[in-house]
Amino acid sequence: MIATLEGTLDRRGIDSAIIKVGGIGFDVHIPSLILDKVGAAGDNVLVYIHLHLKDDGVTLYGFSCQEELALFRELISVSGVGPRAALSLLSSLDAQQLVAAITSENAAFISQVPGIGRKIASRIIIDLKSKLEKGWQETALPLSQEDNDALSALTSLGYSIREASHALGSLSCQAELSLEEKVKMALRQLSEG
């Protein structure tokens, strides 16, 4: 079984990369949020691998650290959540945001991810909440209702959940802001970026 790949990042796609190892190019599916952490074309990279076997072939999924890989494996252990859905979750939300949403039972937040409905979001929470509370308790801060409302406001204006959560995440270090102030500052940041 393949546990890691270390080689040269040949090229990147939206949610995949070709990593050359010993003259062989491996096509590795990597969540887009994680792909930014892995590196740029030409860099020497190390990714942690989940090898997924199906009737029609073998697919490699890559992650920048073992914690992301473990979360991916937890997600695909949930009935109804396959590798593509788990990839979509980790492409839209970083690991801490996703764990925070699961442990705070925020199905509305999770179901905003493309391809994830309310039913699947609820199933993820039921199956993973207790597991993730033990392993991620120090890193995952629960999402406030205000953050959830601000995210909903930004996504209703046409921004993707990834763009909105990134903009709101950069505001987290600032003092207590009202909902309107968060949305205004996030909009300002999104228009500049």
pLDDT of residue 142: 47
| pLDDT < 70 regions, the chain | 136-145, 161-162, 169-175, 193
* CATH 2.40.50.140, applies to 4-63: yes
Residue 23 structure tokens: 């003259």
Phi and psi angles of residue 144, each rounded to the nearest 5 degrees, phi first: -80, 160
Indicate the class that CATH gives domain 145-192: mainly alpha
The residues spanned by each domain of the chain are 4-63, 67-136, 145-192
Centroid of chain to Cα 133: 18
What's the confidence (pLDDT) of residue 140? Answer: 43
Q: How high is the pLDDT of residue 7?
A: 95
- Predicted confidence at residue 139, as pLDDT, reads 46
- CATH number of the domain at 67-136, please? 1.10.150.20
The pLDDT of residue 123 is 96
CA distances from 71 to 75, 95, 174 (A): 6, 7, 28
